[in-house]
Amino acid sequence: MLFINSLLVNWTNGAIIMTVVFGLVIVGLIGAVYAMANSKKEKKQDHSN
């Protein structure tokens, strides 16, 4: 309990859940950018043939 109170964030008000949700959103955005980058590479290969 002392460790939780020593941090700058009050973790008892749902901040852990919000941190997990934020992390999942970031992972989703990175995945979307990666998928878009790979789809553009495939389109360039189709046009060059």
pLDDT computed for residue 17 by the predictor: 86
Q: What is the pLDDT of residues 1-49, one digit of tens each?
A: 556 566 666 667 787 888 899 999 999 999 999 999 988 765 555 555 5
12 close to 4: Cβ distance less than 8 angstroms: yes
pLDDT computed for residue 48 by the predictor: 54
Kindly provide the b/e burial profile for residues 4-40, where b requires at least 16 CB atoms within 10 angstroms of the residue's own CB: eeeeeeeeeeeeeeeeeeeeeeeeeeeeeeeeeeeee
pLDDT computed for residue 36 by the predictor: 92
